[in-house]
């Protein structure tokens, strides 16, 4: 059975995505709930993960984050990480209502920014029976300190305050590029591999992606600490997939967070950098994730 388009309520907005039925399932089967990372839309390789999990006998619900892609929400291109965590929980509620789904067997998958979200969801939502976090952001504060020169950070704060005052006057939100060809130019993700992956993937498979986010998105990123929740995930099983040469969500930050997680947990080191998991290293990232879900949810 082919995937189908779905929509569901995030209470105040409609969220849209795809549902992949579990292949070979005679009755109900577990479900994996997944959304993409910072500014990305579902067409940016989440279909490949959905197909892989579906082929292993798992139902999959993939959705676009609010304010992005096919989902509703205003202001467009604004990422509130706490709201995105809530939307994962709305997606779980919707997934549990589907006739194909065994509502007692729910897994969550996230990557990069949403790799941080699933750490929070796994800690606070005990409907979740297994967590896979791929190349996660674990600390917004530490991440920005590692990417932005310290003498630039004060300038960002002044921009945040000016934007807050402008919004208070009813003006449109200030915007910033997600990526820029020049890693020293202002952008939310100032690494060369970010620029290459987003621009190439936009051209090849995701025309709806836009190279901008609100400036407040960057401020909220700097405040977000999903790694603080990692010790509370247990006894829900956690798989952490970390790229060996990750310069966007630095390898050592993710491994440091893993040390704070409790059993049952597993760490897999992926080859390459942050974005290799989606393309050249897809088998290496999707294989352990599939195995983890099948092991802990059944299929």
User: For residue 285, what pLDDT band results from cuts at 50, 70 and 90?
Assistant: very high
Dihedral sign from CA coordinates of 161, 163, 169, 170: negative
* For residue 152, cis peptide bond before it (omega within 30 degrees of 0): no
Q: Is residue 197 part of a domain?
A: no
Number of domains in the chain: 1
Structure confidence at residue 136 as a pLDDT band (50, 70, 90): very high
- Residues of the chain above pLDDT 70, percent: 100
The domain in which residue 43 lies consists of 4-143+225-297
pTM value is 0.97
Residue 92 has pLDDT above 90, yes or no: yes
Q: Find the CATH number of the domain harbouring 229.
A: 3.40.50.1820
- Place 299 in a pLDDT band, splitting at 50, 70 and 90: confident
Statement: residue 200 has pLDDT above 90: yes
Q: What are 250-279's pLDDT values in tens digits?
A: 999 999 999 999 999 999 999 999 999 999
pLDDT of residue 184: 83
Read off the pLDDT of each residue in 54-63 and give the average, rounded to a whole number.
98
Q: What is the pLDDT at residue 19? A: 98
CA-to-CA separations, 125 to 60, 82, 105, 166, 236, in angstroms, rounded = 18, 14, 13, 36, 10
Distance CA 215, CA 260 (A): 31
What is the average pLDDT across 218-235?
Answer: 97
User: Tokens representing 20?
Assistant: 């992949």
Q: What percent of the chain has pLDDT over 90?
A: 91
The candidate with the shortest Cα–Cα distance to 219, out of 148, 170, 274, is 148
Mean pLDDT value of segment 19-37: 96
Residue 5 has which token pair? 């388009």
Q: Which two tokens stand for residue 277?
A: 């998991």
| Amino acid 260: pLDDT | 98
Q: Which of 22-31, 139-148, 203-212, 236-245 has the lowest mean pLDDT?
A: 139-148
**Omega into 264 within 30° of 0, i.e. cis?**
yes
The yes-or-no verdict on residue 16 having pLDDT over 80 is yes
Would you put residue 30 in left (φ > 0), alpha (ψ -120 to 50) or beta? beta
């Amino acid at each position: 059975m082919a995937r189908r388009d779905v929509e569901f309520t995030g209470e105040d907005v409609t969220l849209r995505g795809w549902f992949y039925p579990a292949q070979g399932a005679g009755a109900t089967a577990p479900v994996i709930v997944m959304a993409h990372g910072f500014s990305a839309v579902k067409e940016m390789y989440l279909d490949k993960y959905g197909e892989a999990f579906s082929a292993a006998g798992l139902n999959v619900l993939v959705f676009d984050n609010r304010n992005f892609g096919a989902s509703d929400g205003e202001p467009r291109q604004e990422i509130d990480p706490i709201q995105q965590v809530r939307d994962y929980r709305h997606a779980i509620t919707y997934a549990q209502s589907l006739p194909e789904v065994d509502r007692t067997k729910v897994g969550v998958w996230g990557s990069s920014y949403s790799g941080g979200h699933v750490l929070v969801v796994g800690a606070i939502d005990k409907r979740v029976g297994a967590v896979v976090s791929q190349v996660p952001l674990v600390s917004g504060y530490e991440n920005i300190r590692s990417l932005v020169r310290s003498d630039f950070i004060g300038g960002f704060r002044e921009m945040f305050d000016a934007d807050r005052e402008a919004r208070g006057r009813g003006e449109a939100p200030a915007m910033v590029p997600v990526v820029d060809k020049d890693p020293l130019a202002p952008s939310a993700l100032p690494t060369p591999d970010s620029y290459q992956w987003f621009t190439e993937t936009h051209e090849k498979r995701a025309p709806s992606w836009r190279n901008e986010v609100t400036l407040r998105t960057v401020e909220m990123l700097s405040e977000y600490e999903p790694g603080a929740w990692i010790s509370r995930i247990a006894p829900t099983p956690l798989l952490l997939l970390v790229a060996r040469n990750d310069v966007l969500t630095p390898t050592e930050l993710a491994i440091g967070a893993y040390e704070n997680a409790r059993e049952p947990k597993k760490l897999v080191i992926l080859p390459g950098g942050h974005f290799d998991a989606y393309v050249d290293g897809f088998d290496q990232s999707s294989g352990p994730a599939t195995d983890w879900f099948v092991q802990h949810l059944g299929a």
